[in-house]
């Protein structure tokens, strides 16, 4: 389970809007000077992320919570968003070589394959938009506003 701490901003029926702050370990990493993630983190003006999480604890606005998403869910989403378009790109580039096609045709086919992979990922995203397995879940309440630590019973 991948976990992140956040604060509840608003509540809906069965859901809570949670704001998390992205943290980066870039400053302690020895490879930060050659890393693209470090460059993007430095340019990015916002390190806050707002998400809709499943609320099974009836949290209140202002509470600090821990949200989580299973690793396999994140891996599956990554495959659809990155690997499928990449396979379309490579497949489109290789396909013309099967019949000794020109390199210009390979470029066109690779663009078509990449666009096809992106369309497949988009359709999968639309299909799974209301699937609650892909939503983060509130795992526990960290602390109440009055300083007391709550007793949380896992359902």
Q: Count of alpha carbons within 13 Å of 68, Cβ hemisphere only?
A: 11
Neighbour count for residue 63 (Cβ, 10 Å): 20
**pTM of the predicted model, to two decimals?**
0.66
Give strand pairing partners of 52: 17
pLDDT on residue 118: 96
| Mean pLDDT, residues 4-12 | 91
| Mean pLDDT, residues 92-114 | 91
pLDDT at 48 over 90: no
Cβ atoms of 6 and 52 closer than 8 Å:
no
| Mean pLDDT, residues 25-34 | 64
CA–CA dist 103, 38 (Å, integer): 36
pLDDT band at 153 (very low <50, low <70, confident <90, very high): low
Give strand pairing partners of 15: 12, 54
């Amino acid at each position: 389970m991948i976990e992140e701490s956040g604060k509840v901003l608003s509540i809906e029926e069965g859901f809570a809007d949670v704001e998390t702050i992205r943290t980066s370990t870039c400053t302690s990493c020895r490879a930060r000077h050659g890393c693209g993630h470090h460059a993007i983190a430095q340019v990015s003006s916002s390190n806050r992320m707002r998400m809709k999480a499943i609320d099974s604890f009836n949290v209140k606005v202002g509470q600090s919570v821990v949200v989580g998403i299973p690793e396999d869910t994140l891996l599956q989403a990554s495959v659809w968003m990155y690997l499928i378009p990449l396979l379309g790109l490579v497949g489109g580039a290789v396909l013309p070589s099967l019949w000794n096609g020109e390199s210009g045709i390979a470029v066109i086919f690779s663009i078509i394959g990449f666009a096809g992979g992106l369309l497949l990922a988009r359709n999968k995203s639309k299909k799974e938009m209301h699937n609650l397995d892909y939503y983060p879940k509130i795992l526990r309440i960290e602390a109440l506003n009055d300083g007391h630590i709550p007793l949380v019973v896992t359902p």
